[in-house]
Structures are given as C-alpha cells and as structure tokens.
C-alpha cells in the first residue's frame, strides 16, 4: 500500500494511492496516518479494503507529510562513503545521529524557505524508514520486523548554521520547511530490498545527486539495531538514513547552494517523487 495524508497544513486527512494513481479517502476507516495506523494489525485491516469503495480525492489536492504526529525524526549523517569523501570527512565507526525538529517537517511539494541570514542552504535526498512497532534492544536480524514502510525525505541543510554556529548539526537541519517528507509511506511488503533502491535529485533540471542504497555504510537493519540500543523507537518515528554524493557543498571548484526561485525535484525507486520551490523565508 501507499498511504498518504492530504489537505491543508494542519488539517490533513488520511488516504491511499490506488493502483491507477488516484488518491482515495480513508477518513471513514481511521483518523490519521500515524503511529497507531502503522501498527501491523491496522495495516492488515487497511489492506483488506477495496480502494474502489473509497471516495476519490481531487488530483490537485495538496499532499501533507506522509506520517502524522511524528514522534521523532532521527537522521543519519555521512552514511554513504562517497558522500563522506566529498565532504572531506572520515568514514564513521558508528552511525552519526542528529535530530531534525518536527517543526521542520512539511509536505513533499511544499515550498522550502531560505532562513534569514542563510548563505549555504543545501539539498539531500534520503531514504526514510517509518517505524511500525516498538523497538528496544533489537538485533540486526529482526530489526526490519519493526518497520512499517519507507518514504522519501529531503534533508535540507544550512551548512553555515550546521558547521559555524557552534554546537550540534541540528542547528543547520531544523529550520522551518527543512524536512519535506512523502509523498507516501510505501509499506514494506512492496519494498523487496531497502538496500537496492536508486536515489536521485535535480536542481533546476540539472542532475545533482545519483546514488543507490546499496552504497550505505550502515544498512537500514544496522541503523535500527544501533538506535534501539540508545532509545526506544516508537510507531510513527521516522529515520532519515543519509544521502548519496552530489550535495551542493561538495561541488568543485566552488560549492553551489540554493537560492530563491530554485526548484528541487527528487525521487527514489518505487517511493514516488517530490518537488519543492525555494522561497525566501
């Protein structure tokens, strides 16, 4: 299934994408696409619904973040060896973790705002992992049992805020609109191997990022195992698993960063696409 949320910001309704690419309303069956809806029992009930019996939603309706009431958004840094190289940073011994404020999370096609005083706002296409059942001290062998599905995350980053404001990376990662998420959660039964997905991102029609999740330093199962030893993962939590090479910071001879009017388009195999226009915040 492809589960989504549609409607005005703060008033999104639950829905799904049918096999013909039409949005169907799930409001009669659940309140939201949140942690409770992502539990295996709930997903099984939703899978039994014939999409043709659900009301159709106008194709032009805004899509919101594909998970509502996200408990925490955890992000993994430098998780592709070639991205670490372009950043002139060593390959980490353990997954690098930072958090993205929930106030940064927006829909997949919402505008991305340049913060005031921004000089180095960058793009990062990433595979998002959506947790479906509570995970604490899990092993790599059973880690994927706790996954509800996968989505796209654009881990937008202000590099000066990230590296020059003293402190953790979170400063450059949590600005408003810096977490486009969606367009939908693709349940794990439709993703045969999360380590075999192509990722790409264009800026103004120019291909900037190309990668494959097979190049992750720490795969999805290892990340879940590691995080679950540090904190309990709850249904509806989202893990953004790192970005392949091609970020603006790594462009030679001079970095290229986002400016007002730019358009980012990005996608992952089987998970859909995003499109964001850059505006001044």
Kindly state the average pLDDT of the residues 131-160.
Answer: 98
Question: What is the pLDDT at residue 60?
Answer: 93
From the list 238, 186, 203, 185, the residue with the least C-alpha distance to 112 is 203
**What are the start-end ranges of the E strands in the chain?**
2-6, 13-17, 23-25, 73-77, 96-100, 105-106, 112-114, 121-122, 125-131, 147-154, 157-158, 179-180, 185-187, 198-203, 206-212, 238-240, 263-268, 272-280
CA pair distance 192, 61, nearest whole angstrom: 30
| Residues 193 and 220 sit within 8 Å (Cβ to Cβ) | no
Q: Tell me if 235 is assigned to some domain.
A: yes
Question: What is the pLDDT at residue 165?
Answer: 86
CA pair distance 203, 115, nearest whole angstrom: 19
Domain of 224, CATH number, reads 3.90.850.10
Question: What is the pLDDT at residue 241?
Answer: 98
Token pair 């505006």 in the structure block, residue: 279
Q: Tell me if 152 is assigned to some domain.
A: yes
Residue 169 pLDDT class (50, 70, 90 cuts):
confident
Question: What is the pLDDT at residue 82?
Answer: 78
CA pair distance 95, 227, nearest whole angstrom: 9
Residue 185 has pLDDT above 90, yes or no: yes
Residue 216 pLDDT class (50, 70, 90 cuts):
very high
Question: What is the pLDDT at residue 170?
Answer: 87
Kindly state the average pLDDT of the residues 239-251.
Answer: 96
- Tens-digit pLDDT profile for residues 50-88: 999 999 999 999 999 999 999 999 999 999 987 777 777
From the list 233, 227, 249, 261, the residue with the least C-alpha distance to 89 is 249
Residue 47 has pLDDT above 80, yes or no: yes
Question: What is the pLDDT at residue 214?
Answer: 95
Q: Tell me if 149 is assigned to some domain.
A: yes
- Tens-digit pLDDT profile for residues 107-134: 999 999 999 999 999 999 999 999 999 9
Question: What is the pLDDT at residue 145?
Answer: 98
**What's the N-to-C CA distance of the chain in angstroms?**
35
Measured from the Cβ of residue 268, the count of other Cβ atoms closer than 10 Å reads 27
Q: Tell me if 92 is assigned to some domain.
A: yes
CA pair distance 36, 153, nearest whole angstrom: 21
Residue 4 has pLDDT above 90, yes or no: yes
Question: What is the pLDDT at residue 110?
Answer: 98
3-class secondary structure for 203-233?
ECCEEEEEEEHHHECCCHHHHHHHHHCCCCE
Kindly state the average pLDDT of the residues 136-153.
Answer: 98
Kindly state the average pLDDT of the residues 190-199.
Answer: 98
CA pair distance 136, 129, nearest whole angstrom: 16
Question: What is the pLDDT at residue 30?
Answer: 96
Question: What is the pLDDT at residue 175?
Answer: 97
Rounded to the nearest integer, the mean pLDDT of the chain is: 96
Q: Tell me if 35 is assigned to some domain.
A: no
Residue 193 has pLDDT above 90, yes or no: yes
**Residue 84 backbone dihedrals phi, psi, to 5 degrees:** -60, -40
Residue 164 pLDDT class (50, 70, 90 cuts):
confident
Total domains in the chain come to 1
Domain that holds residue 217: 66-280
The DSSP symbol for 244 reads -
Q: Tell me if 18 is assigned to some domain.
A: no
Strands 105-106 and 179-180: parallel
Residue 157 has pLDDT above 80, yes or no: yes
Kindly state the average pLDDT of the residues 222-240.
Answer: 98
Q: What's the pTM value of the predicted model, to 2 decimals? A: 0.96
Peptide bond into 211 cis (omega under 30): no
Q: Tell me if 206 is assigned to some domain.
A: yes
Q: Tell me if 134 is assigned to some domain.
A: yes
């Amino acid at each position: 299934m492809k589960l989504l949320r549609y409607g005005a910001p703060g008033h999104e309704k639950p829905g799904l994408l049918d096999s013909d690419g039409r949005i169907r309303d799930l409001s009669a069956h659940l309140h939201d696409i949140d942690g409770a809806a992502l539990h295996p029992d709930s997903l099984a009930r939703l899978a039994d619904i014939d999409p043709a019996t659900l009301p159709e939603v106008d194709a032009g309706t805004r899509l919101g973040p594909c998970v509502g009431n996200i408990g925490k958004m955890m992000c993994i840094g430098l998780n592709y060896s070639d991205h670490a190289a372009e950043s002139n940073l060593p390959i980490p011994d353990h997954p690098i973790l930072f958090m993205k404020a929930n106030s940064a999370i927006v829909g997949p096609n919402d505008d991305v705002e340049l913060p005031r005083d921004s000089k180095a706002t960058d793009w990062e296409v990433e595979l998002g992992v959506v947790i479906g059942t509570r995970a604490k001290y899990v092993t790599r062998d059973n880690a994927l049992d706790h996954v509800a599905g996968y989505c796209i995350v654009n881990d937008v980053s202000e590099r000066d805020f990230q590296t020059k404001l003293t402190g953790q990376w979170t400063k450059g990662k949590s600005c408003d609109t810096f977490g486009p998420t969606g367009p939908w959660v693709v349940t794990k039964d439709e993703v045969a191997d999360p380590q075999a997905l192509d990722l790409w991102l264009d800026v103004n029609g120019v291909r900037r990022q190309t990668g494959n999740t097979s190049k992750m330093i720490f795969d999805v199962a290892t990340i879940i195992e590691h995080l679950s030893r540090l904190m309990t993962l709850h249904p509806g939590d989202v893990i953004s698993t790192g970005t392949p090479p091609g970020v603006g910071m790594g462009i030679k001879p001079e970095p290229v960063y986002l400016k007002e009017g730019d358009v980012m388009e990005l996608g992952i195999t089987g998970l859909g696409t995003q499109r964001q226009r850059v505006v001044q915040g």
